[in-house]
Chains A and B, each alone.
Chain A
Amino acid sequence: MTNYGFVIDNRTCIGCHACTVACKSEHDVPIGVNRTHVKYIEKGIFPNSTREFSVHRCNHCEDSPCTTICPTTALFNRSDGIVDFDDDRCIGCKSCMQACPYDALYIDPDKGTAAKCNYCAHRVENSFEPACVIVCPTESIISGDLDDPESKISQIVSSESTTVRKPESGAKPNVFYVETSEEMLRPDATEVTGYGMWTDQAFGVGHFAKYAESRLDSADTSSMIVQLALEKKLKSSNSRDRAIIRDVMESLGDEEMTSKRSYDQPSKGVLWGWEVAAYIWTKGICAGVYVVAALSMLAGFVEADSQLWLQTIGIGIFFLALTGVLLVVDLDRPERFLYVLLRPNWDSWLVKGAYILALYGVILLASALVIILGFDLVFLTYISIFGIPVALMAGVYTAWLLGQAKGRSWSEDTSLTLKFLFETLALGGAVFFPLATMEPIYALFGILVLIVAWLHDKKLVIDPQLEALL
């Protein structure tokens, strides 16, 4: 069985970026994004300071989280070990970018679809090596079959001491580094500042760029002073501003850092923005209101009332529709949203969640029909036997989706399921009880809960995306 991988030999890599450019040339990669790039760090105190280079790209993982989470199998594992992609299938949901522990993917600004190193599969098809391998002046990128003991790559992996990036990710990466340092491999070991020894990033690319353009327009001058000021705006409390200038996250604390990141690829920005936070919120409401309503009326806290039911279902349907709209709007290829349902990757919680939402929608519609057609309210109780677990899953499944998005810290949060459960019920209660009691105090409390939940959802979604990935 062929198993392609790379060895990056840092004994010979001179950090020249020939690979970066050869790859751009081979795939006509747009400005601002990279399929492969060279990270530079400096460490130590003069005259014992040194600089290190490390070539980073897709690791063609054996247990790739990106292919697990991709709703449409736009990303897929080949039998020869290459993780390839078909951009005609991609809907631009960016889950892959959240799932990849190695920040290997990007959204193509022309196509709105995900892309990454695909081992130059189009060249491999004709038995040629990837473009980066042949250009390298010092032959520091070695490609080949890891399962062939005669191959150069196997010989290096078996005879030299090699490391991989983030082995704890569980993804089983197939890019092996000969001689690399911990400071290089650990993303949080060096400060991420948005500028380096030769670069500045006045604005982001991709998802930053849309937001950044409006910021530029609102500045009345584009002189370099303004840019400098923007860069220096470390104290800004606006999380989008901080995201733009890549401020250091709290996780780095006040540690004295002797390593410094001197060059890195431009940041891709916050990929799941307010739309995703909002959909979690609207989904929590639409699921929670039904659950809380059903439970309350079943348990007898609240008198079952067709008017109340209709209002509840109405709110449920409204917020479910809003959830749907937000999900679609967040896609970079929104016109392909049906692919989630019609080209399903059953492993992905995006797909399972979409079907759950669809099922929940059916339940809400059926419940609405019961009332509109004047059937006995007891049918609503029968429906709720399925409806409550489905609604609960609708509210909670995002925790499992985030669990698959292994590139970010939320995937390590074991209490996410409970958090989402709690939030679903809280949001549901925040909307249902004011509705049921018509009392101002409940409305006040409800609004408070809605606001707190919204702030929490924003933080939950945005903050982990600001942490250094590389």
Chain B
Amino acid sequence: MTAVTEIWTYRNLVYNLAQRELRARYKKSLLGWLWSLINPASMLLIYALVFGVFLKIPPPVAGNGRTSVYALYLFAGLLVWNFFNAVVMGSVSALQGSGGLLNKVYFPPSTPAIANMLTVLLQALIEATILAVIMIALGNVSATYFIFPIMMVLLTPFALGLGLFFSIYNVYYRDVGYLVGIAMSLLFYATPIIYPLSQVPEEIHGVPVRAIISLNPLTQFVEWSRDAFYNLRWPSAASFLGTTAASLAVFTFGWIVFNRKARNVAEEL
């Protein structure tokens, strides 16, 4: 627990590191901040074109009973994924990238990962706001929007826990970073982001595929985001409890492993 209070005393550093990343990221680019929107937008466009138009994945009808737009359905899931992916991968590179600094000054080794998480969180909130604005414009409005912040409160420690776990092992074995990269692209397709969970067959050759996919905690987060902005439904209590448990467990595990292994991190980097 001392590690937690330590982070609190170094909160200003976390904030400054996050600021540094945001400030330095788009320096010297003409469009600057716009890139942080153009990037996800282009990704969204490509997926919408390939899966929505070419492959014709049918989007469910939205909560207001009229709207049925694949791109928006995709967006609600994709922003969850983008956040998760950026936290995990960003944690790995953040720790690796601060090796020089950790050798010169003492600060908690988890601060770069936390700072990265903050910048990514800001991005996710901007994207969510854009989605909400579009949805409001389409008349798809409900109190279920408030699920989103709750979901983020649970998703953040989940993603950060995984990120910290992989980042510390990556210090000792650089392959971890590459392996995580591959695992992430597998996970992307193992999570119902570009397709609705209902499209997944109940079972293939006796394997209960849909049940397995829904056990993926990320599936729940993606579903919640869609429930919040698209379907306008409240998630089930079972889903809520399961997700909370998964989030707490993953974070605690990642945090403990990280802090145990991080004792000599400055020497290894």
Do chains A and B stick together as partners? Answer: no
